[in-house]
Structure 1
Amino acid sequence: MTTPFPFTAVVGQDDLRLALLLNAVSPAVGGVLVRGEKGTAKSTAVRALSALLPEVDVVPGCRFSCDPASPDPACPDGPHEPGPGTRRPARMVELPVGASEDRLVGALDIERALAEGVKAFEPGLLAEAHRGILYVDEVNLLHDHLVDLLLDAAAMGASYVEREGVSVRHAARFLLVGTMNPEEGELRPQLLDRFGLTVEVKASREPEQRVEVVRRRLAYDADPAAFAARWADEEAAVRRRIAAARELLPQVRLGDGALKQIAATCAAFEVDGMRADIVMARTATALAAWAGRTDVLAEDVRQAALLALPHRRRRNPFDAPGLDEDKLDETLEQFADSEGDGDDDPDPDGPGGGGGGRPPQDGPAGDGDASARPEAGEGGEPQVSGGGEQAPVRAAEPFRTRVLSVPGVGEGVAGRRSRARTEHGRTTGARRPRGVLTKLHLAATVQAAAPHQRARGRSGPGLVVRRDDLRQAVREGREGNLVLFVVDASGSMAARQRMSAVKGAVLSLLLDAYQRRDKVGLVTFRGKDAQVALPPTSSVDAAAARLESLPTGGRTPLAAGLLRAHEVLRVERLRDPARRALLVVVTDGRATDGGAARSASGRGGGRATGGPEPVAPASRAARLFAAEGVASVVVDCESGPVRLGLAGRLAGELGGTAVTLDELRADSIAGLVRDVQGTSRRAA
C-alpha cells in the first residue's frame, strides 16, 4: 500500500487544513467542498487526512462497519449482539466520477428476490465509507442524480436501496469531502448548500513557499516511507489533538451571545434557509473544541462564517463565492455580547490552526467593413459599422428564456434540456437487460414469465421466474447538450447599445445552459478570422467572463466563423459522441469574407435597397451543418429602419430558424427552436 503524503507536510493552505480538521473533530459539520485551480494539493490534503482519524471498532465480519457497542438494529448483516469488536483504521473511500448508481448505493439481486424471496444485497461505496471518509474528486462533474443520492445519505446518515418494492436500509455516516476546479463547471446552488464548509485554494505566489512545496514533493517521491517517518511526530501530535477535541466537544457551551451573532450574520448576508445557521453553530463549537476551550468566542463565530457562508451567499450563478469581511466585522461588533468576547487565539501556531479567512484573491484593429453603412441605432444615434477595435461593452441585464431543445431522442449524459433515453425518467417501454439488471420492468417480467408456469411445474402460489424472463425498463428523461455560440463581433455589430443587448441575450442563454447542465463553447469572428474564445466546457462562468471582455470592430468573416464552429463540433463529436449539439449563431447576417463579398445589386435583378447578402463561402459553410443535421438557431441582430433579412437567409442555409433580439427577449425562442424539428432532424 502506498504511503500517503503526510497531512502536516502540506505547505500553506491553512483554510483547507483547518476545514478538514474541524470535520474530523465534528463530522456533524457536514463535510467540505474544496474549490481551486489544478495543482493546489486539494487531493493530497484530503487523502492525507485519513491517516489522522482515530481507529474504529467494528463488529467482526459485518460488511457495514457496525459499532459493536451500539450495532445498527436494521443492519442487513444483523442482528448483532453487543460484544467485543475488532479495531481497524478509518477508511477513505473514493467515488469515481463515472460510477454507477449501483456502485454508489449497492446492488440488490432482483432475480433472487423474485424467484427465491430473499434479499441478496451487495454493499456499495456508501456502506464502505461508513464511519470514515467519502472523497469525491471533481464532484462538479458527477451526475446530478448521484450527487442527490450522495448528499441525501450524508444528511440522513443512512442509505436506502429500493427496487420494485424490495428495500434495504443501512447506516451511512461519513465525512464527505468534494474537490472541484471551477473552470470545469459549477455545482447547482442547492447542492452547494448541502456541503457544510467550503474553501478556496490557490497556489502561492511567494517564491520561497513554492520552493518549499517542490522540495518536499521531490523528497516524498524519492522515498515516501522515509519522508513520512520524518513527519511522524507532527502527525501523532495532530492525531492526539483530534482525539482530545472530540472528547471535549460535548462540553463546549454555545451561549446566547454567540447564537445571536450567528443568526445576525446569516440574516445580514441574506442566505436562504436555516442550514447556514446550524452549520455555523456546529463549526464554531468545533473551533472552540479544537482550541481546547469550552466556550465559543467571537473569533470562533467569525471563522465559522468565513468557512460556512461564502458558497451560500451567491445570488447569481456567475457570482464568485466570497464574503465581505468588513461587513462581517460590523455585524459581529453590532451584536457583540460580553459573554462571547475574548482575546484567546485558537492556537494559530498549531497544525492547521492558522485559518484567517479566505485566501487572497489574485486578482489589433481590423480593416473597415466594406459592407458597413450608417444605421439608425437605439436612441436615435447613428451606428457606424467597421473601423478599428472598440473597447468591450458591458452586457445588458439578463432575462429568462424558454427551453431550447434539440429535436429527436438522444442518449447523452443526464441533464435538463432535450429528450433522451436515460437511467431516470418516465418509463416508456421494456427490453431484455444488457448485463446487470438495474431497473426492473415488473409488468413486462411477469408477462414474459406467465405463459411458462405450467411447463416449469409451478404447483403453488408465487411465480417461477428465470433469467430470460427479466425485462429492463426503458426510460425517457432529459439530457444535457453542447450549446455552441458563434458570435459576430465585427464592426457592423459594434454600436454600444446594440452590442450590450446582444451580450445580454447571450448571457441569458448561458444562464439557461447553467441551469440545464449543458456544456457550452464560444466562437467569435471579426477582422480577418475567427477564433475559439472558449473551447467546449461545463464552466458557463468562464463563458460569461469571455463574453464580457469580448472586443468588437473590423470586417465580418462570417464563413470563417462557421467553419471554425464546424471544426469545434467535429472534434467534440469524437470526444463525446453521445452529446448532441445546438448551434446558436448571433449575427446581423452581413458578411465580408475577403474579396468574396457581393452586394445584391451585383446579381441579376438587383434589389432596390442594395446592401450585402450572405456570400457564397458562408452559404457553403452553412450547408455543412444542414447536411449533418445540426440543430441551429440564428439570433438576428439587424437593426434600423431598413432590414435586409440576411440572418433569415443564413438560417435557411443552416436548416434552422431565425429569431430577432426582440423575439428572444419575449421568451419566444423555445417554440422557434422546436420548429427546427421539421428541418433539422438527427437519428434518434
Structure 2
Amino acid sequence: GMRADIVMARTATALAAWAGRTDVLAEDVRQAALLALPHRRRRNPFDAPGLDENKLDDTLEEFAEQEQEPTQGPEDDDPGPDGPDGPGGGGGQSPEDDSDGPQSGGTAAQPEAGEGGEPQPSGSGEQQPVRASEPFRTKVLSVPGLGEGAAGRRSRARTEHGRTTGARRPQGALTKLHLAATVQAAAPHQLARGRAGRGLVVRRDDLRQATREGREGNLVLFVVDASGSMAARQRMSAVKGAVLSLLLDAYQRRDKVGLVTFRGSAADVALPPTSSVDAAAVRLESLPTGGRTPLAAGLLKAHDVLRVERLRDPARRALVVVVTDGRATGGPEPVVLAGRAARLFAADGVASVVVDCESGPVRLGLAGQLAGELEGTAVTLDELRADSIAGLVKDVQRRAA
C-alpha cells in the first residue's frame, strides 16, 4: 500500500545517503524493499515470513519499463523500411518468437502432486493432510486457581503489577506497602507500646505486603487425535481450524504451546513446548490422518512432556487441550488403558479441556466420559466459538448453579 511505498522510499533514500550519493537507484529500492517489507506482509503469526524476491524483481522491472517507455511522436508514425512489413519488422514470426509452438511446450503444464492433481498414495490407512478451515475467535480457556507464573493474559496469578487484592506478611524485602493493613495491624498495640503523641508507633512486624493479582501465561499442550475416525465425514478440516484458532488465542495471550498427536499404533511429540506458535501451526497443517486410535498412548506421551517441562519451568502452569471424539481402539484393552492414563492427569491436578469432535445424529458421548476421568471440562466445536449461543447458555447455567 501507500504506507509501505513511503517506508520503502525513505529506506532507499537513507541507503543512498549512507553510500554518499544523492540519486536513488533501482538497486537501492530493491534493498529497501528487502529490509522494509517482509515483516509488514504478515497479518497474523501464521503468515510465512520473508519476501518473494522473484516477484519483487518482476515488479521493479515492470515499473522500470513504464518509466522508460517513450511517447510516440509524429515522426514515429512511419514505420519505414524496417516497419511491420519490412525486413526488420515484426510482421513475420520467427521460430524463436513462436511461444505457442511445439518448441516452447505449447501443451499445458501438468499439475504437481498436492496442487490440484490426484492425491498420491501415502501408505496403508493414511490420508493426505487436509487444509484447516477458517480460524475464529474462541472462548477463553483458563487454568483454575491462582498461579505465580510468567506474565501473560490467560489465567489468574499473583503478579508484581495489577489490582491490589489483599495483604500478607512480607517474605523477604518489602516491595509494595499495604498502608491500610499495616495501620490495622499496628493499631491494637499502641497502648502497650506507650504511645503518647499523635504519631502511630509502627514496628517491623506490623508491615504488610500488598498482594496483587494479574494474569499469567500458561503452557497450552494440545493432544490431537489424528486417527481414521477423526477423518470421517470431513471433520479434520474443522478440527484443524479449531486448533488453529486456539493457537492464535495462545499467541495473543503469550502462552507457550506444545503439540502431541496420536494415530495408528503410537503417539508422537510433533512439537515440544515452545513460544513459537507459528511452528505449531506449520506442524498442524501437515498432519496426516488415518489408522486406529491409541488414546492411551497419546495421553501418556502428553504426561511425559508435562513432567519434563515441569522441571524446566516449574512456575508455569499447564492447560491440556485434548482434541478427540473419545474413541479408543489402539492396543490391548484400549478403553481401560485410556481411563488409567486420564486419571494420571487428575492425580497431578493438571487442568484439562476435552474438545468433543464427535458429530452425526448418533453420539456415544465418549469425549464427555474422558473429560470426567480427567476431571476437566468438555466442550464441543460449536461451544468453543466465542459467539456461540449454546456456550453462552451453558455459562449462565453454571453461574446460576
Residue 573 to residue 673, structure 1, CA distance change in 2 (3 Å): farther
Q: Is the 8 A contact 2:139 2:385 kept in 1?
A: no
How far 1:467 moved relative to its partner?
6.0
544-553 or 317-326: bigger deviation: 317-326
Equivalent residue number for residue 293 of structure 2: 556
Residue 474 to residue 332, structure 1, CA distance change in 2 (3 Å): farther
CA distance in 1, matches of 2:181, 2:8: 51
Query: 2:270 pairs with 519, 533, 553, which one?
Result: 533
How far 1:518 moved relative to its partner?
0.8
Which letter does structure 1 place at the counterpart of 2:364?
Answer: L
How far 1:523 moved relative to its partner?
0.9
Which letter does structure 2 place at the counterpart of 1:571?
Answer: V
Equivalent residue number for residue 620 of structure 1: 340
Equivalent residue number for residue 45 of structure 2: 317
How far 1:439 moved relative to its partner?
3.2
Equivalent residue number for residue 307 of structure 2: 570
Local SS of the residue matching 2:248: helix
Deviations 1:563-589 (A, max 9, x none): 111111111112212111111111111
Which letter does structure 2 place at the counterpart of 1:626?
Answer: A
How far 1:662 moved relative to its partner?
2.4
Q: Is the 8 A contact 2:178 2:208 kept in 1?
A: yes
Identity %: 83
Query: 1:415 pairs with 149, 152, 176, which one?
Result: 152
Q: Which runs of structure 2 are paired with 1:93-242 in the superposition (5 Å)?
A: none
Q: Is the 8 A contact 2:137 2:386 kept in 1?
A: no
Equivalent residue number for residue 360 of structure 2: 640
Q: Is the 8 A contact 2:218 2:318 kept in 1?
A: yes
Q: Is the 8 A contact 2:262 2:268 kept in 1?
A: yes
How far 1:309 moved relative to its partner?
3.0
Equivalent residue number for residue 583 of structure 1: 320
Q: Which runs of structure 2 are paired with 1:542-553 in the superposition (5 Å)?
A: 542-553=279-290
Residue 666 to residue 466, structure 1, CA distance change in 2 (3 Å): closer
CA distance in 1, matches of 2:172, 2:12: 49
Q: Is the 8 A contact 2:129 2:287 kept in 1?
A: yes
Residue 619 to residue 480, structure 1, CA distance change in 2 (3 Å): same
Local SS of the residue matching 1:624: helix
CA distance in 2, matches of 1:322, 1:496: 36
Which letter does structure 2 place at the counterpart of 1:570?
Answer: R
How far 1:441 moved relative to its partner?
3.3
Q: Is the 8 A contact 1:596 1:616 kept in 2?
A: yes
Local SS of the residue matching 2:158: strand
Local SS of the residue matching 1:663: coil
Deviations 1:139-182 (A, max 9, x none): xxxxxxxxxxxxxxxxxxxxxxxxxxxxxxxxxxxxxxxxxxxx
Q: Is the 8 A contact 1:589 1:647 kept in 2?
A: yes
Equivalent residue number for residue 350 of structure 2: 630
Which letter does structure 1 place at the counterpart of 2:294?
Answer: P
Local SS of the residue matching 2:382: helix
Q: Is the 8 A contact 2:158 2:212 kept in 1?
A: yes
Local SS of the residue matching 2:46: coil
How far 1:554 moved relative to its partner?
1.0
Local SS of the residue matching 1:632: strand
Which letter does structure 1 place at the counterpart of 2:339?
Answer: S
Residue 478 to residue 569, structure 1, CA distance change in 2 (3 Å): same
Q: Is the 8 A contact 1:404 1:673 kept in 2?
A: no
Q: Does residue 308 of the first structure (1) align with residue 36 of the second (2)?
A: yes
How far 1:407 moved relative to its partner?
0.7
Residue 595 to residue 470, structure 1, CA distance change in 2 (3 Å): closer
CA distance in 2, matches of 1:646, 1:477: 36
Deviations 1:167-202 (A, max 9, x none): xxxxxxxxxxxxxxxxxxxxxxxxxxxxxxxxxxxx
How far 1:478 moved relative to its partner?
0.4
Deviations 1:479-500 (A, max 9, x none): 1111111111111112372111
Q: Is the 8 A contact 1:403 1:670 kept in 2?
A: no
CA distance in 2, matches of 1:336, 1:452: 89
Query: 1:664 pairs with 370, 384, 389, which one?
Result: 384
**Aligned pairs, number:** 340
Equivalent residue number for residue 266 of structure 1: 4
Q: Is the 8 A contact 2:293 2:329 kept in 1?
A: yes
Query: 1:650 pairs with 355, 367, 370, which one?
Result: 370
CA distance in 2, matches of 1:328, 1:317: 26
Which letter does structure 2 place at the counterpart of 1:646?
Answer: L
CA distance in 1, matches of 2:194, 2:29: 69
How far 1:548 moved relative to its partner?
0.6
CA distance in 1, matches of 2:187, 2:18: 64
How far 1:396 moved relative to its partner?
0.9
CA distance in 1, matches of 2:314, 2:296: 25
Which letter does structure 2 place at the counterpart of 1:655?
Answer: E
Which letter does structure 2 place at the counterpart of 1:264?
Answer: M
Equivalent residue number for residue 19 of structure 1: none
Say what the alpha-carbon RMSD is for the aligned residues: 3.7
Which stretches in structure 1 are left out of the alignment for 5+ residues? Answer: 1-262, 268-276, 339-385, 598-614, 679-684
Which letter does structure 1 place at the counterpart of 2:243?
Answer: V
Residue 313 to residue 473, structure 1, CA distance change in 2 (3 Å): farther
Local SS of the residue matching 2:20: coil
Which stretches in structure 2 are left out of the alignment for 5+ residues? Answer: 68-122
CA distance in 1, matches of 2:307, 2:353: 18
Local SS of the residue matching 2:260: strand
Deviations 1:399-435 (A, max 9, x none): 1101101111111111100000011111112334444
Q: Is the 8 A contact 1:432 1:471 kept in 2?
A: yes
Q: Is the 8 A contact 2:132 2:285 kept in 1?
A: yes
How far 1:594 moved relative to its partner?
2.0
Q: Is the 8 A contact 2:131 2:237 kept in 1?
A: yes
Deviations 1:314-349 (A, max 9, x none): 1111112333553587479759999xxxxxxxxxxx
Q: Does residue 390 of the first structure (1) align with residue 127 of the second (2)?
A: yes
CA distance in 2, matches of 1:666, 1:450: 49
Residue 552 to residue 561, structure 1, CA distance change in 2 (3 Å): same
637-646 or 319-328: bigger deviation: 319-328
CA distance in 1, matches of 2:296, 2:306: 15
CA distance in 2, matches of 1:400, 1:506: 11
How far 1:286 moved relative to its partner?
3.5
Equivalent residue number for residue 288 of structure 1: 16
Deviations 1:57-88 (A, max 9, x none): xxxxxxxxxxxxxxxxxxxxxxxxxxxxxxxx
Q: Is the 8 A contact 1:264 1:331 kept in 2?
A: no
CA distance in 1, matches of 2:379, 2:277: 23
Equivalent residue number for residue 236 of structure 2: 499
Q: Is the 8 A contact 1:407 1:674 kept in 2?
A: no
CA distance in 2, matches of 1:672, 1:415: 28
Local SS of the residue matching 1:642: coil
